[in-house]
């Protein structure tokens, strides 16, 4: 449902289900039938479900954009303002030196996995490509890079279906990853100085 409709397009559906369910429920309470009462409850429940799903999806999309923008915004690479809530938590828990080392490992791992992914896709081995994308999904999720996490999952779904991932999606995935790695390297260089 979320993929078919944007958040604004879902509002009329929610209102229609809610009003229809409420109207049927009022009609049923006037003594029409118990079947209409059951239909009214179902429509009203659907309206509530659509409202909750829409709100959760909107919040998730908002947080993902905010986190990605914090990392990709040029102003955010100053050492004093490390972007991302999850990354900031990791920095505090690990300490500055261990955190810089972890970012170095992250950069190396992600770079190697992207190269491997392209080789595997060129060979047409969708099972191995799916495994690589699953690993990248986990890496990005672990550091809180939501947009990259979601892209990795979408590309993995293509490979699971034995379909070649769309070239534009793969290119966008590589570009976002490259930008992130560039930001990480700049952050590490600035904090080491």
DSSP string, 74-139: GGGGSTTS---HHHHHHHHHH-HHHHHHHHHHHHHHHHHHHHHHHHHHHHT-HHHHHHHHHHHHHH
pLDDT of residue 18: 64
> Are 92 and 172 part of one and the same domain?
yes
pLDDT of residue 81: 39
pLDDT by 10s per residue, the chain, length 193: 344 445 555 566 666 666 666 665 555 555 556 656 666 667 667 776 766 666 666 665 555 555 444 444 444 444 333 446 777 778 788 888 888 888 889 899 999 999 999 999 999 999 999 999 999 999 988 888 888 999 999 999 999 999 999 999 999 999 999 998 888 888 888 877 6
pLDDT of residue 87: 75
> Are 42 and 128 part of one and the same domain?
no
> Are 112 and 67 part of one and the same domain?
no
End-to-end alpha carbon distance in the chain? 50
Number of domains in the chain: 2
Looking at 29, 50, 72, the residue that finishes a domain is: 72
pLDDT of residue 76: 44
Task: Decide: 165 and 157 in contact? Cβ < 8 Å.
Answer: no
Task: Please indicate, yes or no, if residue 1 is contained in any of the structural domains.
Answer: no
Task: Please indicate, yes or no, if residue 166 is contained in any of the structural domains.
Answer: yes
Q: Quick one: which H or E segment has residue 178?
A: helix 167-192
> Are 182 and 101 part of one and the same domain?
yes
pLDDT of residue 184: 86
Closest to 173 measured CA to CA, from 189, 190, 187, 159: 159
pLDDT of residue 26: 58
> Are 107 and 160 part of one and the same domain?
yes
Closest to 144 measured CA to CA, from 79, 76, 90, 74: 90
Enclosing domain of residue 142: 81-192
Task: Decide: 7 and 58 in contact? Cβ < 8 Å.
Answer: yes
Distance of alpha carbon 132 from alpha carbon 26, whole angstroms: 55
Q: What residues have CB less than 8 Å from 79, skipping those under 6 apart?
A: 187, 190, 191
Looking at 33, 52, 72, the residue that finishes a domain is: 72
> Are 49 and 92 part of one and the same domain?
no
Task: Please indicate, yes or no, if residue 101 is contained in any of the structural domains.
Answer: yes
Distance of alpha carbon 71 from alpha carbon 86, whole angstroms: 12
pTM comes to: 0.56
């Amino acid at each position: 449902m979320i993929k078919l409709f944007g958040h604004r397009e879902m509002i009329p559906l929610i209102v229609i289900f809610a009003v229809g369910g409420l109207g049927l429920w009022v009609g049923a309470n006037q003594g029409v039938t118990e079947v209409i009462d059951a239909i009214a409850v179902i429509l009203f429940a659907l309206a509530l479900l659509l409202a909750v799903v829409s709100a959760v999806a909107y919040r998730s999309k908002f947080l993902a954009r905010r986190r990605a923008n914090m990392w990709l915004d040029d102003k955010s690479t100053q050492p004093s303002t490390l972007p991302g809530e999850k990354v900031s938590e990791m920095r505090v828990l690990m300490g500055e030196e261990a955190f810089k080392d972890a970012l170095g490992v992250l950069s190396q791992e992600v770079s190697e996995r992207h190269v491997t992914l392209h080789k595997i896709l060129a060979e047409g081995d969708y099972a191995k490509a799916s495994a690589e994308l699953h690993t990248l999904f986990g890496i990005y999720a672990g550091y809180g890079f939501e947009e990259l996490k979601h892209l990795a999952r979408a590309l993995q779904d293509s490979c699971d279906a034995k379909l070649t991932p769309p070239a534009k999606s793969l290119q966008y995935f590589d570009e976002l990853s490259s930008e992130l790695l560039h930001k990480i390297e700049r952050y590490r260089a600035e904090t080491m100085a």
